[in-house]
A and B are shown apart, each in its own frame.
Chain A
Amino acid sequence: MYTQKKSISGFRAFSFTLLVLLSVSCDSFVDVELPKSQLTGSSVFLESNTANAAMVNIYAGIRDQGILSGTSLGISHNLGVYTDELTFYGASSYAAFYFFNNALLPSNIYVTNYWNAAYSQIYAANAVYEGVDASTALSTQDVQRLKGEALFVRALLHFYLVNLYGDIPYVTTTDYQINSSVPRLPSGEIYGYIISDLQQAIVLLPEEYYGMGRVRPNRYAAAALLARAYLYNHQWAEAAELASSVINYSALYSDEMNLQHTFLKDSPETIWQLSPAMEGRNTDEAATFTLLAAPPATVALTNELVNAFSPEDARKAAWIGQVTDGNSIWYYSAKYRQAATEAASSEYSIVFRLPEQYLIRAEARALHGDFTGALEDLDHIRHKAGLAGSPATDLPDILQEILTQRRLELFTEYGHRFFDLKRTGQLETALQGIKPGWDPTDSLFPLPETELLANPNLLPQNPGY
């Protein structure tokens, strides 16, 4: 009897305590505030500063990761070893090993990284475009400029992707449901989109550079890319016209006659360059290509390239450095020289510079039948390098001379050599005997294996892989 009573009172106490415990609300204890390092997506585009920060982060990404990076993982380096610009001396643990041997596999992480980084940057550009578009708080100038920059970036990255991988998807939204099943489009259509994006960008972008330095694309950066896109797309008249629009804008652009100064950050030839991560830092290219001691640890310029310069070519002395161990000499690209940090940066990585526009126009003019104009542009480049005018008179010779000048002018700059050989159909002849592993299907990279798995609409794989 007693036990029972005690049990009952105990049970009451138990129930009471339980009630107290359960009365504490379930819902809001586990709500958390935003972490301090994050902002909600929509609030980013309510302020000019944060919208701008979202945009510059894309350029920082382009500078540091993927295709246009100046490190030994970028195409300046890897397409150099892939073709006939650089010889590779390192071990198989380096990324460049597989590029050098033309032995890329769809599982190659560097090939995958180019793809992934580019589309991640394209996503960010689309997010800026959509965010700015939806924002009611930004000024019209900000809206137009940021939209123009986003379109420029989108076109730029797709341009490199289509030239590396062939048919690719053109991504214009942030919607992952659409983007996860996008199909490949024929490269002709891709050029259509690139051209259309750039035409819009030219309208939207201001003539002047935004902020310090020439590190934000302006109207002429978009025009320079558009000129190149037209050239690659065999639209000669348009290519020449766009190149002229840049060349003729002398308020900003003029020749840098001192070749030692071509790659300094204040060069008047620069159309668009990438800002270093911090004032005082310089380019990754300097560290990537400069040889400090002989023998080279990873890469040196090929003898074929070094020998292609005639002795009087001033670019050879200005842009090629050398090291020796007493017996042999190795050459390196000395366009960028400052690898260390200084009090103030002296060199920025230049993506678009004026001489390329002359060469674009020369080629476009030649193919459009204007040999005089073509030779004028060609000789403009040759004279700057201390060379006499070109003796070429007929179209094949002019084109060959343009190709040579492109090789000598633009070596180790963002894979120009590879793209030029490829679009002019000369990969086989140029690489024969130099690259034993070369196969005609190597003109396209393989699509990343992970990508084909994730999106079967991207099938089939490029031939040869």
Chain B
Amino acid sequence: MKFISANNGLRVLFYSLTLASFPCSALARAHASPLGEAYFQQSITGTVSDASGSLPGVIIMVKGTTRSTISDGEGRFSIAAANNEVLVFSFTGFKAVEVAIGEQTIFNIMLQEDATQLKELEINAGYYSVKQKESTGSISRITAKDIETQPVTNVLATMQGRMPGVSITQSTGTPGGGFDIAIRGRNSLRGDANAPLYIIDGVPYSSESIGSSYTSATLFPVTSNPLNSISLDAIASIEVLKDADATAIYGSRGANGVVLITTKKGAVGKTQVSINASTGVGNITRFMDLMNTQQYLAMRAKAFENDGVTQYPEYAYDINGTWGRNRYTDWQKELTGGTSEITAFQGSVSGGTGQTQFLFGTNYHTQTSVVPGNFIYKKGGGNFSLNHSSTDERFKLSLSGSYVVQDNDQPAFDPTIDSRSLAPNAPALYDAQGNLNWENGTWTNPLANLAAEFKSRTNDFIANSVLSYKINDDLIIKSSFGYSTTNHDETRTAPSTVYNPAFNLGSEYSALFVNTLNRRSWIAEPQVSYKLDLNRAKIDVLAGGTFQKQVSNNLTQYGIGFTSNSLIYNLAAASSRTIPLSDEITYKYQAFFGRINLKWDSKYIINFTARRDGSSRFGPKNQFAGFAALGAAWIISEEKFLKNQNVLSFGKIRGSYGSTGSDQIGDYQFLDTYTSSGVMYQGIVGLLPSRLYNPDFGWEKTKKLEAALELGFLKDRIFLTAAYYRNRSSNQLVGLPVPATTGFTSLQANLNATVQNTGFELSLDTKNIDTKDFSWSTNINLTLPHNKLVSFPGLESSVYKEQYRIGKPLAIRMVYNYKGVNEQTGVYQFEDVNGDGQITSPDDKQTAVDLSPEFYGGLQNQVRYKSWTLSFLFQFVKQKNQGFTLGNGGMMNNQPVELVNSWQAPGDSNSYQVYTTGFNSEAVTAQSLYESSTANIVDASFIRLKNIAVSYTLPDLSNGLKSSILLQAQNLLTITPYKGGDPEFGTLGFLPPLRVISAGIQLTF
């Protein structure tokens, strides 16, 4: 393989360009040749329509020839044809119609929606596309139709509840925050290495964090990632590749699934303008039920009594009369109960001729915060797509790109925990003069924190071009080039005004934190595909290569001590500046991939895919590895024995097996280095040993097995897909925890453990009613996942001993077994597993509780009556999770209202322990044990009316102007037994997702 050794990047580009430059001369020839001989023909005209009106973009072809045209914006067409010829009208999603011409010259054709469209649909599998009917892999899909009805801004939000096998959790309701996604469960023991690969129009899109904990730790549970930059209005479809057949061609990056995002393209026809505008409101989905003042003060009084304190101490302001004993503030409402105002605008112009199609789009979105103050999130951008083909259809060029700017202004602190823990009789926020009230220093005014601001600005550009040339009918060469760049600036201020003014702290205490990230990536993927048609056998072959380079520059700085608070955004005005991080990281990736697909008799299909990958993230000996998969499908409904019946319209059995990998371990981990620590001593910036040195770690491998059945009944009006999968990840690449006596807490190494994800995925589509005026269709998807640690040689003597159990899911948590409240002492009790009379960890922390979802899914309905459409989605998740606790009952912070039922006197058998103000150290210890005990693992299942959308299409106002009115809502209703606020969270104590209701109009002309 080592023919060439130097300057490979350049050579690759050169080759790719050479390949791509072929077509130019061929194109010239194509133009020179005469096209058709129309002299004996007549002109046939007419219109094409469907149930709801004229249909532009329908392809009208003279059967058996290359003559074709396309209907215009009003559905009109004109084509030259002889009277012995046949016209074929075809349009994706509609049944094709053939008409013999005869003497007639005007045809008004009505196309009918194709009930079997589901299986005829071409789905994007990344390097190739495949008809759903003939697909051997497991691919879930949503389209613009599903996305448009949702008033959300993050691409992952649009997928929630809609795809089997895809579990998505929103981690905060603050705009600009993130989502967690797991496709078919957690494969890696490392929690942060389960992200799928994102690809937008062929360009890999890094979802690695762009934020910094210096700037966003108090606002976001995880630092922000670039996914928020994806403009939802530009998306045509999202495909999620899950099994080995679909993902092995992505090799080392396919283990956690692949999310393919395809943007909208222009369609042939009249230039069409489409405008959407909407406005809406958002609120917190759920609050906690907390004590009111009376209940709270009763608790405090009892706590002091329990502690034997008769005179309330000076610092017990809530109860000793310093604060009004009759005050009551609902702090949740006060601090997080605001209304977020949301506006969105989107416009696009598209159109094109048979050779060239274009689309330009633009969008703008704003969202204010539910937190008091003028905080706003803005996102806007534009996108374009241009497709061109030579008249002989041999040369094709496709260009697409998008530019998105996000501007986010938020408070630097998430006030959720404050809003729950503040005493209900805590003082007023403002004094009579309208200034922040500090109540003589007896409390920290929660609004003071709002003076600390988080601001971020993200510019994201992504572009892709694909050049392809059809050498002959069977052979196509193609090359794609992609470029993406993300610039992200994030700042957090900590002005001195967050402190009580009585402290007299001036701007010399103010601080500014700045994080700047710039990421650039290019990719070149030359490919060649070849098609062989041997009557009964059809063979498709694809081969290609990938060359990718990504460079990230990251600079984190902070300054302390400003001349004035009005100069706080000027780092130069800080009296001292520190640079904790200044780094440039290069990631290089190279691969060769191929696919061979064999179809026999349109019944038996075999699909072989393989990839050989090299990544700069591994040491010199371990850079390369191979991955491959075999998929097969048998379309039983094509068999003769099933031809003469009307019930089963489609049947397919498919399966796949293969391997994929993961290289999500960060860069340069195999090097023995010192890193600049950015911290000074004696005027010198220190050097820090980077890590324990281990150059020998290699790839993590996931072997995936899938078996599935796809059945269509009654002309596919009922369509069922049932899949079973089993993914096994081995050679686990982990930061192997090592004792701190080694100087570090982890060592990068491969661990000989196997994690298995199995599960059933069901998806049922039904067209319950389908008439001209009224249609109703339903989709149910259900996933029953099961995650298990299959093997782990030496677990008992390893550091994971108390974290994992063989045979149990990775998402277990080892907790104490709660045994109720001791009736005599009133203190929580736990099972003393080792019987030594003490409750200690880890010996007594031996109960494994599973926090992974038991099942999840969605129920979606779409109803159309004449010009009205209604769609709604229920999302459901059955799971357990941590309860939200607020420490010991009796201390100076509010508590869930359930805690009124606490132990009062010996003999009581209440569910909560004795109140204490902190003096009862036995109870204080028991409270922290309680928080990691079975008692605090509660049912966090929920059913959520995730989305509901109603639209009404107005009658055509004037020539070609279509308009509709839309009413949409997200997270409208949540049913859950969970008491700690909203049941959807990754980390406790952040703003829950918002309930959004919005109204809008859509114009098309």
Q: Please tell me which stretch of A122-130, A229-237, A393-401 contacts chain B, meaning at least 4 of its Cβ atoms lie within 8 angstroms of it.
A: A122-130
Interface residue? B684 (CB, 8 A): yes
CA distance A44 to B673 in the complex (A): 9
The smallest beta-carbon distance between A137 and chain B, in angstroms, is 16
CA distance A449 to B690 in the complex (A): 25
Q: Is the CB of A341 within 8 A of B576?
A: yes
* CB closest chain-A residue, reference B535: A3
CA distance A422 to B281 in the complex (A): 62
Total interface residues on A, CB under 8 Å, equals: 112
Interface residue? A115 (CB, 8 A): yes
- Known: A101-B924, A340-B561. Contact between A38 and B671, CB under 8 A? yes
CA distance A456 to B543 in the complex (A): 52
Which A residues are CB-close (under 8 A) to B1?
Answer: 22, 25-27
Q: Is the CB of A60 within 8 A of B681?
A: yes
Which A residues are CB-close (under 8 A) to B32?
Answer: none
CA distance A56 to B500 in the complex (A): 36
Q: Which of A10, A57, A119, A171 contacts B687 (CB 8 A)?
A: A57
Interface residue? A433 (CB, 8 A): no
- Known: A176-B747, A277-B681, A293-B502. Contact between A30 and B589, CB under 8 A? yes
Q: Is the CB of A89 within 8 A of B315?
A: yes
Q: Is the CB of B741 within 8 A of A455?
A: yes
Secondary structure at the B interface, as helix, strand, loop or mixed, is: mixed
Q: Is the CB of B686 within 8 A of A453?
A: no
Q: Please tell me which stretch of B235-243, B705-713, B721-729, B797-805 contacts chain A, meaning at least 4 of its Cβ atoms lie within 8 angstroms of it.
A: B797-805
Interface residue? A139 (CB, 8 A): no
Q: Is the CB of A32 within 8 A of B588?
A: yes
- Known: A57-B679, A176-B742, A277-B680. Contact between A26 and B687, CB under 8 A? no
- Known: A30-B588, A465-B840. Contact between A451 and B740, CB under 8 A? yes
Interface residue? A429 (CB, 8 A): no
Scoring B residues 838 to 862 as 1 if CB is less than 8 Å from chain A, else 0, what string do you get? 1011100000000000000000000
Q: Is the CB of A10 within 8 A of B743?
A: no
Q: Is the CB of A341 within 8 A of B8?
A: no
Q: Which of A36, A56, A458 contacts B739 (CB 8 A)?
A: A458
Q: Which of A53, A123, A126, A280 contacts B575 (CB 8 A)?
A: A280
CA distance A105 to B474 in the complex (A): 71
Interface residue? A206 (CB, 8 A): no
CA distance A116 to B543 in the complex (A): 51
Which A residues are CB-close (under 8 A) to B616?
Answer: 30-32
Which A residues are CB-close (under 8 A) to B472?
Answer: 6, 9-10
Which B residues are CB-close (under 8 A) to A453?
Answer: 737, 799, 801-802, 842
Interface residue? A328 (CB, 8 A): yes
Which A residues are CB-close (under 8 A) to B560?
Answer: 281, 341
Which B residues are CB-close (under 8 A) to A59?
Answer: 681-682
The smallest beta-carbon distance between B208 and chain A, in angstroms, is 15
- Known: A50-B687, A101-B924, A340-B561. Contact between A60 and B586, CB under 8 A? no
Interface residue? B824 (CB, 8 A): no
Which B residues are CB-close (under 8 A) to A123?
Answer: 689, 742-744
Q: Please tell me which stretch of B390-398, B577-585, B993-1001 contacts chain A, meaning at least 4 of its Cβ atoms lie within 8 angstroms of it.
A: B577-585
* CB closest chain-B residue, reference A291: B503
* CB closest chain-B residue, reference A178: B742
The smallest beta-carbon distance between A133 and chain B, in angstroms, is 16
Interface centre among A56, A280, A325 (most CB of B within 10 A): A56
Residues of A415-456 contacting chain B, CB below 8 A:
436-437, 448-456
CA distance A455 to B135 in the complex (A): 51
Which A residues are CB-close (under 8 A) to B842?
Answer: 449, 452-453
CA distance A24 to B442 in the complex (A): 71
Q: Is the CB of B623 within 8 A of A30?
A: yes
The smallest beta-carbon distance between A212 and chain B, in angstroms, is 6
Q: Is the CB of B5 within 8 A of A25?
A: yes
Q: Is the CB of B576 within 8 A of A103?
A: no
Which B residues are CB-close (under 8 A) to A116?
Answer: 740, 745
CA distance A458 to B742 in the complex (A): 13
Scoring A residues 4 to 37 as 1 if CB is less than 8 Å from chain B, else 0, what string do you get? 0011011101100110111111111111111111
Which A residues are CB-close (under 8 A) to B612?
Answer: 26
Q: Please tell me which stretch of B72-80, B357-365, B886-894, B934-942 contacts chain A, meaning at least 4 of its Cβ atoms lie within 8 angstroms of it.
A: B886-894
Which A residues are CB-close (under 8 A) to B921?
Answer: 101-103, 436-437
Which B residues are CB-close (under 8 A) to A33?
Answer: 586
Q: Which of A6, A50, A57, A294 contacts B441 (CB 8 A)?
A: A294
Residues of A236-285 contacting chain B, CB below 8 A:
274-275, 277-281
Interface residue? B86 (CB, 8 A): no
Interface residue? A461 (CB, 8 A): yes
- Known: A32-B588, A57-B679, A60-B679. Contact between A176 and B738, CB under 8 A? yes
Q: Please tell me which stretch of B191-199, B408-416, B526-534, B599-607 contacts chain A, meaning at least 4 of its Cβ atoms lie within 8 angstroms of it.
A: B526-534
Which B residues are CB-close (under 8 A) to A449?
Answer: 802, 841-842
Q: Which of B545, B671, B737, B892 contacts A91 (CB 8 A)?
A: B892
Interface residue? A64 (CB, 8 A): yes
Q: Is the CB of A103 within 8 A of B681?
A: no
Q: Is the CB of A36 within 8 A of B583?
A: yes
Q: Is the CB of B315 within 8 A of A40?
A: no
Interface residue? B341 (CB, 8 A): no
Q: Which of A58, A176, A212 contacts B683 (CB 8 A)?
A: A212
Q: Is the CB of B683 within 8 A of A92?
A: no
Scoring B residues 686 to 705 as 1 if CB is less than 8 Å from chain A, else 0, what string do you get? 11111011000000000000
* CB closest chain-B residue, reference A18: B543
Which B residues are CB-close (under 8 A) to A135?
Answer: none
Which B residues are CB-close (under 8 A) to A25?
Answer: 1-5, 8
Q: Is the CB of A14 within 8 A of B530?
A: yes
Q: Is the CB of B475 within 8 A of A56?
A: no
Which A residues are CB-close (under 8 A) to B918?
Answer: 92, 97, 101
Q: Which of B677, B891, B932 contacts A60 (CB 8 A)?
A: B677
- Known: A30-B623, A180-B741, A278-B578. Contact between A41 and B584, CB under 8 A? no
Residues of B662-676 contacting chain A, CB below 8 A:
667-668, 671-676
Q: Is the CB of B474 within 8 A of A10?
A: yes
- Known: A7-B474, A32-B588. Contact between A115 and B673, CB under 8 A? no
The smallest beta-carbon distance between A99 and chain B, in angstroms, is 12
The smallest beta-carbon distance between B913 and chain A, in angstroms, is 15
Interface residue? A216 (CB, 8 A): yes
Interface residue? A54 (CB, 8 A): yes
Q: Is the CB of B582 within 8 A of A37?
A: yes
CA distance A171 to B509 in the complex (A): 40
* CB closest chain-A residue, reference B438: A293
Q: Is the CB of A105 within 8 A of B586?
A: no
CA distance A8 to B578 in the complex (A): 67
Q: Is the CB of A341 within 8 A of B474?
A: no
Interface centre among A38, A40, A461 (most CB of B within 10 A): A38
Which B residues are CB-close (under 8 A) to A127?
Answer: 689, 743
Q: Which of A14, A21, A41, A102 contacts B526 (CB 8 A)?
A: A21
Q: Is the CB of A29 within 8 A of B8?
A: yes
Q: Is the CB of A456 within 8 A of B797?
A: yes
Interface residue? B928 (CB, 8 A): yes
Which B residues are CB-close (under 8 A) to A54?
Answer: 674, 686-689
Interface residue? A321 (CB, 8 A): no
Q: Which 9 A-B pairs have the closest CB atoms?
A: A123-B743, A57-B686, A437-B921, A292-B503, A341-B561, A454-B739, A455-B739, A38-B673, A56-B681
**Given contact pairs A7-B474, A29-B590, a sample of 9 additional A-B residue pairs in the complex whose CB atoms are under 8 Å apart:** A21-B592, A26-B1, A28-B8, A56-B681, A57-B686, A63-B681, A97-B918, A115-B740, A179-B743
| 14 A-B pairs (CB sep. < 8 Å) | A10-B475, A21-B528, A27-B614, A35-B584, A38-B675, A41-B674, A53-B686, A103-B925, A119-B742, A277-B680, A340-B509, A341-B508, A454-B738, A464-B838
- List A residues at the B interface (Cβ < 8 Å): 3, 6-7, 9-11, 13-14, 17-18, 20-41, 44, 50, 52-54, 56-61, 63-64, 89, 91-93, 97, 101-103, 105-107, 112, 115-116, 119-120, 122-124, 126-127, 169, 171, 174, 176, 179-180, 182, 211-213, 215-216, 274-275, 277-281, 292-295, 297, 325, 327-328, 339-341, 343, 436-437, 448-456, 458, 461, 464-465
